[in-house]
Chain A
Amino acid sequence: MVECPECGAEFDAGAVEVGEIIVCPDCGVDLEVLTVDPVTVGQAPEEGEDWGE
């Protein structure tokens, strides 16, 4: 189980990779996967002005 650093909700992140962005199912905040064994997450980086595709 993963704990959301924003709202404290615990949820199953499933099969994820380091660097992947996931969404907290409770509060909807974007989270970045920091480690996978065990899975830990932090708040996703803020979108920069020059970000895009």
Chain B
Amino acid sequence: MLKYIIKRIIGLIPVLFCVSVVVFVITRVIPGDPAAVMLGPQATNEAVEALRIKLGLRDPLLVQYGRFLMQLLRGDLGTSIAYNQPVLDLILDTFPNTVLLAASSLLIATIVALPIGILSAVKQYSIFDYLSMTFALVGVSMPVYWLGLMLVLLFSIKLQLLPSIGMGSLSNGLGDILSHLILPSIALATIPMANFARITRSSMLEVVRQDYIRTARAKGLSEWKVIIKHSLKNAMVPLLTVMGMQISMMLSGAVLTETIFAWPGMGRLVVDAIEKRDFIMVQGSVMFLAFIFVFVNLCVDVLYVLVNPRISYDNKGGDSSGA
């Protein structure tokens, strides 16, 4: 197992290297001069030129890339052009907020989706099954933007129960943060929730038809034990795969939710950086997200083993893709 993990970590190096090349090239080929964009329409030519030199934009591309790579190796993501602050500091300021949002959404999605998925599978073709799967279909197709606005209209404007925007502050107590967290978490949780419910159902359906489940029932085990201990554990593998992908997507792609609810997360930081042509910020945060992405995937692969002992990475080299 340990050997596998080390192997995987070594395998990450070329992946991250490729990401660094791609992101560097992309940020350099998109049209628009960062210095001109930053200073806006009214800046003088001299001011724009001075900024270009200050930012190192006049250096050859290879020199710029070399500098970027050397910084990366030292764990330095550079200094943001727009903020004039280290990129890593800015990320660390906002990333925890994104993690908080993503984690609470994941929690909501899982708590709601698992029982629905299991019940739908166990009571296949029942009214509950039809209803819940219809809702899941609606949930998957719901645009976050629209849902977010509706939630605000209902809970903030009509009922005046919850704040509409922002994150609140710890200085006003934990309750302040929690009340600000509810609406964006629900908005962000809806699509994964619907996905999880559908996948839990289909994967459970597959498992409950297996021979060993029939055997378990024949042994006289209680239905509860059959479902939770024997079926669900085996049905978790595909669900874990999807969850892993969802977590990565939530961490990097919660931009819309963050924008609607003015949640000070990392997605907004990146989008803002792209608009401002703050490519040091863009390449730094993409590298950071790429790292998080591969790390989460690695964790999921390791989790497979813990959940399903039939999967093992230690035997005979061979294919180690896990899922």
The answer to whether A and B come from one shared complex is no
